[in-house]
Chains A and B, each alone.
Chain A
């Protein structure tokens, strides 16, 4: 059962990744990108970590893919789509990708990943939170500062000084 699901997810993820690169229409390309990101969320679900899977969907499909889609819709196609049909480049790219994948696969397979036993129960997200508050607290504080400063920065950038509207000040 899990193998069939894994195979289906792998086909969806890789197929839509290829489609995202190759499809002529930019909108369909970004939909295919959503398929890829959703497939990765499915892998997280298979790996017994629904917490990460839900964040994958909420952040990558709900925000980043929407941002890409929105940008693509507002941009005129001719401006960014200069046709470069170079067969040699394409084959070189595919060859490079295959070589990279084979190399990475060889490294991962020889790293002893096969000997890991996977009878452990899935990691509870409360445990992740506990670890963040106890052992990894400097990382948590750092992340909090970075996020807070980026939120404040975004709000400052979005603030329009030239707009004088009485209703805003009221």
Chain B
């Protein structure tokens, strides 16, 4: 098998891998909302309520948020 054939296989399998990842991401988005771990739609308010004095929609970094604690 020469390098060109290898490149062909690598490209094909990487595409399949990335497609699977993308579909997994859709499932992940909906599943984490269904389980109540995360409400993605609330992030839409970041643009609407963007005064410097407004309360942040999320005031803890990702590593300290509740849903991660629940999962531990």
The finding on whether chains A and B are genuine partners in a shared complex, rather than unrelated, reads no
